[in-house]
Amino acid sequence: MYIPADFNEPRTEILHARIAQHPFGTLITHGKSGLDANHLPFELVADEGELGVLRAHVARANPVWQDIANGDEVLVVFRAGDAYISPSWYPSKHESHQQVPTWNYMAVHAYGRVSVHDDEKYVRSVVGRLTRTHEVSQPEPWKMSDAPRDYIDTLLKSIVGLQINITRLVGKSKLSQNKDARDIQGAGEALRARENYQIGDAMLAHAVGKLE
């Protein structure tokens, strides 16, 4: 990923937070059949290993788990928001007209070594933790025990676990940091007015930082 210095986000804790907040990632592999991409929800265990561990599961019918080998390098891409930026939102545009459209976004690339876990205990724990994490905000959180045990046991046999030991984290926050503070603020406020609070708020935070 091309990262100009203004857009580099090297802080591990920030990148971990973005993965946790946006856990639906794209797993990119290069196995026996060539390049492949699968879209999966991931669990991040931030305090395991040097840079953390990602866990996920795939359908047994998905050939990816047989196409890769333990120890293969893989890449998982997490998107943490994006937005079209109109030059009209920059105050300086109305003075010099020297602005053009762009697209702002935040992304994390997690490189690592993958291992396949085709065992019921591992898969059950991955599914259980993933469920608890995403059900906690529900009025009545669903639990695996809410369904008949034999039904769950049958479903667990139809999936395979994956674990990725992260070896490198790369982060990019393209939020118009190469612009003047008033232009960042103008675009950030325009995004908030359009209810894109994710990128809008991030841009406004950078505008405040430039003004301090």
Which domains does the chain possess? 5-82+107-175 (2.30.110.10)
Nearest to 186 by CA among 203, 202, 168, 166: 203
Q: What is the pTM of this model?
A: 0.92
Query: Are 38 and 61 a contacting pair, CB within 8 Å?
Result: no
At 110, is the secondary structure helix, strand, or coil?
A: strand
Nearest to 208 by CA among 186, 181, 187, 170: 181
Render each residue's pLDDT in the chain as its tens digit; 212 residues.
999 999 999 999 999 999 999 999 999 999 999 999 999 999 999 999 999 999 999 999 999 999 999 999 999 999 999 999 999 999 986 777 778 999 999 999 999 999 999 999 999 999 999 999 999 999 999 999 999 999 999 999 999 999 999 999 999 999 999 998 999 999 999 999 999 999 999 999 988 776 65
Rounded-to-integer distance, Cα 74 and Cα 71, Å? 9
Continuous segment of H or E residues that includes residue 2 = none
